[in-house]
Amino acid sequence: MTQFKRVILGLDFSPLDQTILEYLAQIHKAYPIETLYALHIVPGFSAPRIPEGDFIARFIQDQPLDEVLAEKISQQVKAIFGEQPPFAIKIEVIEGKPSEQITHWAEVKKADLLVLGRKSISDGSGIVARRVARQATCPVLFVNETARAPRHIVVPIDYSEFSARALMTALDKQLLFPDTVIHALHVVEFPPNDYYMLPYKEAGFRKILHDAAREAFDKFVVDYHIPTDKIQPVYRENILQNPAKHILEYAREIQADLLLTGARGHSVLRNMLFGSVTEALIEQNHEFPLLIVR
């Protein structure tokens, strides 16, 4: 059974913080949190100097900056979880590079889940999200502004152990929301039209590939002991040669609430095994919460 007892939560004092905390409250109902590490990273002071006035002077106050920010985080958390939150809270305000510090703290604290905000209109290139997803050894959840309790979960599957783990996590989530629909989406690969003869485009050939995908699904759920009564298998043709784009198009069609995907591995080889589709989803998706499990 999935457990998220030790959670690292990244906050940046933007309006998205409240959405993240409200979403985390939903997660807590399904997977009770024991310790929440609320983390804020202050950019390194090697940043370009502000031309007018002394940079440090702007922060002169009765309390050290880290204490002021920690108190603000505490108030944010209590506004959602109450004055006596149902779990231990550890607040850390540190200086450094975001991706390095986030993955470092997740490893040091042996986190079960790392939760970060992902703005629909990003302030940057999204490189922090990609680096964290690649380097983290625990599941990573990206929450956007429209996040809500998941009723429609899209789980891209390739019949591997990693997609089986993702499906089982989605089924755990269903314990809280019995009416949730899990859409197990397989993108059926087709030969590129430019490289193959006309017979490959015929309906008969397409049917063969779809039948093979369905047979693979039947074997997949048996091999990994996955109950199918709450799973809706879906098949899409990879006519664009871009699986991530097809996944996002389907998510839009059904107004999905969550994308849940498996990442390949968590060893020293994890960067090579991460998975091109998962990475493409991180890069292209700014519309749906995305949970990456390992």
Residue 206 confidence (pLDDT): 81
Give the span between the Cα atoms of 213 and 236, in whole angstroms.
10
**CB of 80 closer than 8 Å to CB of 18:** yes
Model confidence, pTM: 0.85
Residue 269 confidence (pLDDT): 37
Q: Which of the listed residues 128, 147, 166 is the one where a domain comes to its end?
A: 147
Same domain membership, residue 132 and residue 191: no
**Cα dihedral 243/247/248/250 (nearest 10):** 130
Token duo for residue 44: 């390194």
Same domain membership, residue 239 and residue 139: no
Give the β-pairing of 140-143 and 290-293.
antiparallel
Q: On the CB side of 284, how many CA atoms lie within 13 Å of its CA?
A: 16
Same domain membership, residue 157 and residue 143: no
Same domain membership, residue 58 and residue 90: yes
Domain at 45, CATH number: 3.40.50.620
Domain count, the chain: 2
Same domain membership, residue 120 and residue 25: yes
Token duo for residue 85: 């939150």
Same domain membership, residue 100 and residue 176: no
Same domain membership, residue 10 and residue 135: yes
Domain residues for 243? 148-294
Give the span between the Cα atoms of 132 and 9, in whole angstroms.
13
Same domain membership, residue 90 and residue 165: no
Same domain membership, residue 102 and residue 50: yes
Residue 231 confidence (pLDDT): 94
User: DSSP 3-state assignment of 147?
Assistant: coil
Q: Where are the beta strands (DSSP E) in the chain?
A: 6-10, 35-42, 88-95, 113-117, 140-143, 152-156, 181-188, 231-237, 258-262, 290-293
Same domain membership, residue 190 and residue 48: no
State the average pLDDT for the chain.
84
- What does each of the 294 residues of the chain score in pLDDT, given as a tens digit? 678 999 999 999 999 999 999 999 988 988 899 999 999 998 764 544 444 444 444 555 567 888 889 999 999 999 999 999 999 999 999 888 888 899 999 999 999 999 999 877 655 556 788 888 888 889 999 999 988 888 899 999 999 999 999 999 999 877 677 788 999 999 998 766 554 445 555 667 788 888 999 999 999 999 999 999 889 999 998 888 889 999 999 999 999 999 999 876 444 334 433 467 888 898 889 899 999 998
Q: What is the DSSP string of 52-121?
A: SS-TGGGG--SS-HHHHHHHHHHHHHHHHH-SS-SSEEEEEEEES-HHHHHHHHHHHTT-SEEEEE--SS
| Spatial CA neighbour of 116 closest among 148, 86, 139 | 139
Same domain membership, residue 190 and residue 215: yes
Same domain membership, residue 62 and residue 49: yes
Q: Which of the listed residues 147, 170, 203 is the one where a domain comes to its end?
A: 147
Residue 26 confidence (pLDDT): 87
Q: Which of the listed residues 90, 113, 147 is the one where a domain comes to its end?
A: 147
